[in-house]
């Protein structure tokens, strides 16, 4: 148990350091992650090299001579924000939908669950691709699409938990004491049914970051010149034979972030939810 806790602390520390770095590094760096300077002199410098002006490039430079480390950090702001917002709001929509379904029963319950099941009947990647066509690619579209394709599982979880909680004596006594249906739900039932939803949402952060990177990699997500980890990897793809670091460097931050999210989600699951249905992440 002690080792597990240490791994957790490391994961949280890693996430905090990464998040702070994405905020601070682009601000204090002498390198402009977006401006294009002397392309011929600066482009495709390998990692750990120093250019003619004496600037050190930890991860090297891309085809336009921009510093990859600073760009990776700037991209991290967007990738982290998209991942957190996407899964958080997907979780919220899921909780609301699940609560409405469980508490209204009847036709509303049936219709909500039918839509959730129908959307779950397409692999999430496929649904993501179809939804991404609805709006012009960009930041807002990615977040909306992550929410639209991510709420169903959580809605099912919350509904199932609520139906279990509903039969508990404390809910019945609250109802017997004359508490309104909404009050019983919000005050008594929901707090006891949120555990699995919180775990699923936390595990969803890493997944959402991966999905964002995948969409951006395919050119359907965050659009250049705004950097995201996915579109930076895509941008270095045709250089993989001559300058592999351009595509591979941004993935380091991506892997570190998803790793930390997975570890935190895992231990939350062990603590809060006990044995829940095992799910594997989408294969991005």
Binding positions for other proteins, rule: CB under 8 A: 114-115, 117-123, 125-126, 129-135, 206, 210, 213-214, 217-218, 233, 236-237, 240-244, 247-248, 251, 254-255, 258-259, 262-263, 278, 280-281, 283-284
Cβ-based nearer residue to other proteins, 194 or 268:
268
Q: What angle do CA 51, 56, 61 make, to 5 degrees?
A: 70
Cβ-based nearer residue to other proteins, 151 or 217:
217
Question: Which sign, positive or negative, has the C-alpha torsion 56, 62, 64, 68?
Answer: negative
Phi, psi dihedral angles at 181 (to 5 degrees): -60, -40
Cβ-based nearer residue to other proteins, 24 or 240:
240
For residues 26 and 76, what is the distance between their CA atoms, to the nearest angstrom?
10
Number of other residues whose CB lies within 10 A of the CB of residue 241: 6
Q: How far is the CB of 282 from other proteins (least distance, A)?
A: 9
Q: How far is the CB of 135 from other proteins (least distance, A)?
A: 8
Cβ-based nearer residue to other proteins, 46 or 225:
46
Cβ-based nearer residue to other proteins, 39 or 133:
133
For residues 147 and 208, what is the distance between their CA atoms, to the nearest angstrom?
9
Provide the token pair at 194: 């949120």
**Which uninterrupted H or E stretch holds 40?**
helix 39-42
The count of residues in the chain is 284
Q: How far is the CB of 204 from other proteins (least distance, A)?
A: 14
Q: How far is the CB of 233 from other proteins (least distance, A)?
A: 6
For residues 214 and 62, what is the distance between their CA atoms, to the nearest angstrom?
20
For residues 209 and 114, what is the distance between their CA atoms, to the nearest angstrom?
28
Cβ-based nearer residue to other proteins, 123 or 164:
123
Cβ-based nearer residue to other proteins, 143 or 203:
203
Q: How far is the CB of 39 from other proteins (least distance, A)?
A: 21
Confirm if 154 and 99 have CB atoms less than 8 A apart.
Answer: no
Q: How far is the CB of 110 from other proteins (least distance, A)?
A: 11
Q: How far is the CB of 74 from other proteins (least distance, A)?
A: 19
Q: Which residues have C-beta within 8 Å of that of residue 167, sequence separation ≥ 6?
A: none
């Amino acid at each position: 148990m002690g080792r597990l806790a240490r791994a957790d602390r490391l994961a949280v520390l890693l996430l905090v350091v990464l998040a702070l770095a994405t905020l601070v590094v682009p601000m204090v760096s002498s390198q402009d992650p977006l401006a294009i300077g002397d392309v011929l002199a600066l482009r495709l410098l390998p990692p750990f090299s120093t250019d003619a002006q004496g600037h050190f490039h930890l991860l090297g430079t891309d085809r336009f001579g921009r510093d990859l480390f600073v760009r990776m950090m700037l991209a991290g702001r967007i990738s982290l924000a998209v991942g957190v917002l996407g899964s958080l709001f997907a979780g919220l929509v899921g909780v609301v939908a699940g609560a409405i379904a469980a508490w209204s029963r009847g036709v509303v319950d049936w219709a909500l669950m039918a839509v959730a099941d129908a959307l779950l009947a397409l692999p999430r990647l496929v649904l993501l691709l179809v939804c991404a066509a609805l709006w012009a690619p960009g930041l807002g579209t990615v977040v909306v699409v992550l929410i639209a394709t991510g709420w169903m599982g959580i809605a099912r979880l919350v509904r199932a938990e609520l139906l279990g909680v509903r039969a508990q004596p404390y809910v019945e006594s609250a109802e017997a004491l004359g508490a309104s249906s909404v009050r019983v739900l919000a005050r008594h039932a929901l707090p006891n049914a949120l555990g699995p939803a919180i775990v699923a949402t936390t595990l969803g952060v890493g997944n959402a970051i991966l999905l964002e990177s995948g969409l951006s990699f395919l050119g359907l997500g965050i659009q250049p010149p705004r950097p995201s980890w996915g579109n930076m990897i895509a941008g270095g793809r045709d250089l993989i034979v001559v300058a592999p670091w351009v595509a591979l460097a941004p993935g380091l931050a991506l892997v570190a972030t998803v790793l930390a999210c997975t570890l935190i989600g895992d231990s939350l699951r062990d603590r809060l939810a006990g044995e829940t249905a095992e799910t594997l992440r989408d294969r991005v």
